[in-house]
Amino acid sequence: MAEHNVCVELVRERQKCTFEVQELIHLIDGGITATEERREVENVVCTDPRIKDVVPEEYLSHKERYENAIRKNCILQEILKKYTEKRTWDNFRPSNKYRISSGVVKDISPFMLHTGMFIPTLVNQSDDEQKAKWVPKAMSMEIIGTYAQTELGHGSFIRGLETTATYDPNTEEFVLNTPNLTSYKWWPGGLAHTANHCIVVAQLYSKGQHYGVHPFFVQIRDIETHVPLPGIKVGEIGPKLGFQTANNGFLGFENFRIPRRNMLMKNAQVLKDGTYIKSKNDKLTYGTMVFVRVIILFDLAFELSRAATIAVRYSAVRHQSQLKANEPELQIIDYVTQQHKLFIGVSTSHVFRVVGLWLWNTYVKVNADIGKGNMDQLPELHALACCLKAVCSRDAAARVEEFRLACGGHGFMTSSNLPIINGIVSASITYEGEFSVLMLQTARFLMKAWNGVLARKTLTPTVSYLSKFSNSDRVQWANTTAGIISGFQAAAAGKTKEAYAAIQSYLKPGTDYEDAWNSASVQLVSASEAHCRAILCEISWSEMQRLSKTVSPNLGKVLLELAELYLTYWSLEKRGDLLMYTTISTADIAKLQARYEELLALIRPNAVGIVDGFDIRDEILNSTLGAYDGRVYERLMEEAKKSPLNAEPVNESFHKYIKPLMLKAKL
């Protein structure tokens, strides 16, 4: 990137950097070629004059904003075709490539559900014949789809969905119906005015029997005219906290008929005469959700890297207050409280990326085994994906909010882009499985694992530590990274044991297990969180250690500092747990605090270099505060001038309302 016009603070910061930023960029991308490919695509898209907005999207009406998002995303799809023609589902790997969407619209693409859930569901839930028919059309965007599962009345409790698909053997069709107001599909992205197809999750009935929820491939609009087909009631659900351009919709069916072969039949089937063939495992219907929960970690890492870049660069440019009399005002990044706000967010982005890759590799392996008929590892994968999606989305939202606060008043400006990123990340705590609901899924797995501990069984890898820490009351503490990881495992084991005991204590005669579970559920969520933190600490440390050996010593040192900062930050945050479950002393905690402050100081000179290492183009950052050149004040003023209110010196409301009010006041 050109160094001219860069503000003096950022020039100095970049000179201070002790490692080669390009090396970090390649590491994050997964190699030099991957960086080159990503940059090429970004360059083509971001320099396309059709992508640039004359009026910033936040000034547009709700309708205009959607239309603009569609227009620009269609241009993006056209450009991407060239770069993704060799990309098939089989060679799909999560990468930073799809981040280009943020350079096209600031908020969410109305096509996100097409790529993120429609295609993955077709790939994973259709039989070979169905896949051959639908997937190429979806990949090329000949048809546009979404994933319609949630209803007005039910989101978390999938078994409670009310939409019905009743098989009619006379015509070999399913008849879809929305029996009540609460059975309307509600929320699917792109459903309102973008998609012409969707996966509908509905209760299956055949030969008078109920077989639970199944996915169906449903055309909802005419391909030529886009008019909703007869029997389809579809529309938009209205403005939200964020996701303004996601085009979330509602959908109802009135005796809407689809061919029998439109039920996705990889796992379960309905034969011509209506005979139902059961799936080997009915939870395979939930497979897309597992896939997306895994992918969400990459998305969170990316959004955190955007927010981090904005807040760190701004903190280097911004001067405020004097630390010592008669000395210049400090760059706010030199206040240690500011470093405390910033650096944990920077390190968290790296942690989510490396743990995300580990989870992705686990997903690929388990999925391959499932393909061969071996479901043994599905419960463990589900438990992992649930708690990691839940904890990481909540942590990411907290970190983005902290980045916003770290930018003071300017962080509150939409033009900083922090409020939009905030909306995007906050939504992920709820969608694809609400936080507490997913944490309780992991807790189910932990309770079973504890039964295994009591029965002296060999546990699966991610919970094997429970056996190790099951007997000792307080585990020996050591002020090392290995000691911290053991400490987190001890806390998770202790909390699991207590949650298990709480259920037993609530299980008085006459009490159902489910009621005892509900009574103990605050402790169950706490046990899940502790388990998840133990995993985040163990995997991130081992992965960052491994990566540090693959790069130059200078960069390796920085990676280990970031990883150690993460462990130390969370040890201090969770000191109460460590005091309960390990022999940690107040003196040990004071040492941890001192090391934490030392790490902040070690990271400080490299802070701008580290966020430069995320290599996020200005067009993708979309921020007045975070641009590469640091021209913060100029950009704030340039953006303010774009306000339509500034187009005229006196607004007509003065003559209409204010002046009469003033005149009345005179009387």
Ligand X SMILES: Cc1cc2nc3c(=O)[nH]c(=O)nc-3n(C[C@H](O)[C@H](O)[C@H](O)COP(=O)(O)OP(=O)(O)OC[C@H]3O[C@@H](n4cnc5c(N)ncnc54)[C@H](O)[C@@H]3O)c2cc1C
Annotated binding site for FAD: 150, 189
| C-alpha–C-alpha distance, residues 115 and 463, integer Å | 33
250 binds ligand X (CB under 6 A): no
Cα→Cα distances 514→157, 504, 507, 511, 517, Å: 15, 11, 9, 8, 5
Q: Report the partner that residue 436 touches, choosing among ligand X, ligand LPWUO67N, none (CB closer than 5 to 8 A by kind).
A: ligand X
In whole angstroms, what is the distance from residue 370 CA to residue 584 CA?
43
Told to check if 477 binds ligand X by CB under 6 A, we report no
Query: What, of ligand X, ligand LPWUO67N, none, does residue 243 touch, CB below 5 to 8 Å by kind?
Result: ligand X
Structure tokens at 150: 């949630």
Contact mark string toward ligand X, 152..171, x via CB under 6 A: --xxx---------------
Residue 258 forms beta bridges with which residues?
A: 174
Q: Which residues contact 300 (CB under 8 A, 6 or more apart)?
A: 352, 356, 392, 393, 396, 425, 428
In the complex, the residues that contact ligand LPWUO67N under the rule CB under 6 A are: 87, 89, 92, 98, 112, 115-117, 119-120, 147, 149-150, 155-159, 189, 283, 286, 289-290, 292, 295-296, 299, 378-379, 382, 431-433, 437, 441, 444
For residues 90-129, which are near ligand X according to CB under 6 A? Answer: 113
Q: Is 290 in the site for ligand X (CB under 6 A)?
A: no
Token pair, residue 424, equals 């995007």
For ligand LPWUO67N, the closer of residues 149 and 568 by Cβ is 149
Which candidate in 432, 529, 538, 561 is catalytic? Answer: 432
> Which residue of this chain has its Cβ atom nearest to ligand X in the complex?
155
3-state DSSP assignment of residue 625: coil
Beta strands 269-270 and 276-277, pairing class: antiparallel
- The region of 433-441, 477-485, 598-606, 611-619 touching ligand X under the rule CB under 6 A is 433-441
Token look-up 């033009």 returns 415
Q: Which does 292 bind (CB under 5 to 8 A by kind): ligand X, ligand LPWUO67N, none?
A: ligand LPWUO67N
Closest CA to 598 of 561, 570, 571, 544: 561
Nearest CB to ligand LPWUO67N, comparing residues 288 and 622: 288
Which stretch, 24-32, 127-135, 149-157, 259-267, contacts ligand X (CB under 6 A)? Answer: 149-157
Closest contact distance (angstroms) between CB of 162 and ligand X is: 13
Q: What is the distance in angstroms between the CA of the first residue and the CA of the last residue of the chain?
A: 63
Query: Minimal CA–CA distance to 310: which of 614, 3, 652?
Result: 614
- List the single partner that 290 binds among ligand LPWUO67N, ligand X, none, CB under 5 to 8 Å by kind: ligand LPWUO67N
d(Cα 183, Cα 361) in Å, to the nearest integer? Answer: 37
Applying CB under 6 A, among 199, 351, 427, 503 the residue interacting with ligand X is: 427
Judged by CB under 6 A, the number of residues near ligand X is 22
Q: Does 377 bind ligand X (CB under 6 A)?
A: no
- Binding partner selected for residue 556 from ligand LPWUO67N, ligand X, none, CB under the kind-specific 5 to 8 Å limit: none
Nearer to ligand LPWUO67N, 299 or 612 (CB): 299
**220 touching ligand X, by CB under 6 A:** no
Structural contact between residues 417 and 306, judged by C-beta atoms closer than 8 angstroms = yes
CB of 228 to ligand X, least distance (A): 18
87 binds, among ligand LPWUO67N, ligand X, none (CB under 5 to 8 A by kind): ligand LPWUO67N
Question: Which of the choices ligand X, ligand LPWUO67N, none does residue 184 contact, using the CB cut-off of 5 to 8 A by kind?
Answer: none
**Secondary structure percentages of the chain, helix, strand, coil, to 5:** 60, 10, 30
Choosing from 149, 203, 481, 486, the residue that interacts with ligand X (CB under 6 A) is 149
CA distances from 289 to 351, 377, 549, 604 (A): 22, 16, 35, 39
CB atoms within 10 A of CB 557: 16
Q: Which residue, chain included where needed, has tokens 């990309």?
A: 87
Q: How far is the CB of 200 from ligand LPWUO67N (least distance, A)?
A: 12
Q: Decide if 338 contacts 332 (C-beta within 8 A).
A: yes
Q: Is 433 left (phi over 0), alpha (psi -120 to 50) or beta?
A: left
Tell me which of ligand LPWUO67N, ligand X, none is bound by residue 283, counting a contact when its beta carbon lies within the kind-specific cut-off of 5 to 8 angstroms.
ligand LPWUO67N
In whole angstroms, how close is the CB of 116 to ligand X at the nearest point?
Answer: 8
Neighbours of 594 (CB within 10 A): 11
- The distance of closest approach from Cβ of residue 440 to ligand LPWUO67N in the complex, given in angstroms and rounded to an integer, is 8
Interacting partner of 137 out of ligand X, ligand LPWUO67N, none (Cβ under 5 to 8 A depending on kind): none
Instruction: Report the Cα 208 to chain-centroid distance in Å.
Output: 41
Helix (H, G, I), strand (E, B) or coil at 213: strand
Query: Is 447 near ligand X (CB under 6 A)?
Result: no
What is the distance between the alpha carbons of residues 451 and 111, in angstroms, rounded to a whole number? 44
Distance set, CA 593 to CA 317, 558, 664 (Å):
28, 19, 63
Binding of residue 187 to ligand X (CB under 6 A): yes
440 is a site residue for ligand X (CB under 6 A): yes
Contact status: 433 vs ligand X (CB under 6 A): yes
Range in contact with ligand X (rule: CB under 6 A) among 162-170, 412-420, 429-437, 467-475: 429-437
Nearer to ligand X, 216 or 477 (CB): 216
Rounded (5°) CA angle 184-188-190: 125
Query: Cβ 300 to ligand X, closest distance in Å?
Result: 14
Q: Rule CB under 6 A: is residue 506 a binding residue for ligand X?
A: no
Token pair of 535, please? 């995993």
Annotated binding-site residue numbers: 150, 189
Rounded CA separation 607/9 (Å): 13
Residue 67 near ligand X by CB under 6 A: no
- Distance (Å, whole) CA 139 – CA 429: 28
CB 4, min distance to ligand X, A: 41
- Comparing CB distances to ligand LPWUO67N, the nearer of 432 and 615 is 432
Catalytic residue check, 498: no
Give the one entry of ligand LPWUO67N, ligand X, none that residue 158 binds, where binding means its C-beta sits below a cut-off of 5 to 8 angstroms depending on kind: ligand LPWUO67N
Nearer Cβ to ligand LPWUO67N (290/555):
290
Whether the Cβ atoms of residue 627 and residue 618 lie closer than 8 Å to each other: yes
Q: Dump the DSSP string for 335-355.
A: SHHHHHHHHHHHHHHHHHHHH
306-319 CB burial, b ≥16 within 10 A, e <16 = bbbbbbbbbbbbbe
Nearer to ligand X, 147 or 581 (CB): 147
- CA 145 to CA 220: how far, in whole Å? 10
Return d(Cα 114, Cα 145) in angstroms, integer: 5
| DSSP-derived pairing of the beta strands 197-206 and 209-219 | antiparallel
β 209-219/232-236 pair status: unpaired
Asked if residue 189 binds ligand X (CB under 6 A), the reply is: yes
Compute the least distance from the CB of residue 494 to ligand X, in Å. 23
66 binds ligand X (CB under 6 A): no
Mind telling me the catalytic residues?
432
Binding site residues, ligand X, CB under 6 A: 113, 147-150, 154-156, 187-189, 243, 248, 427, 430-434, 436-437, 440
